[in-house]
Structure 1
């Protein structure tokens, strides 16, 4: 069962990326270092739920 998730910047709070994940195999929240266009640098992005 795939669900839609967003990746929210932990510094500025913007949701910059959206993706899907399998909720049965990946139970923990996703955390990735991604590029934040507002800050113009790489920051930690954490998973948040998106309205579907």
Structure 2
């Protein structure tokens, strides 16, 4: 069975830069500061579904 993948989208420009494996135990959406290559700086990335 293949894992579901979820994208992390930049909260500033909206581009989806990163993908992660979906976790059944996580109930809230993931929010992490990651580097956005389009903005050129570290911004908050939120999990999209």
Tell me the TM-score normalized by structure 1. 0.82
Secondary structure of the structure 2 residue equivalent to 1:45 = strand
Structure 1: gaps of 5 or more residues: none
The residue aligned with 2:38 is: 38
Structure 2: gaps of 5 or more residues: none
Tell me the TM-score normalized by structure 2. 0.86
Which 4+ runs in 1 deviate beyond 3 A?
A: none
**RMSD over aligned Cα, in angstroms?**
1.1
Which structure shows the bigger proportion of residues in strand conformation? Answer: 1
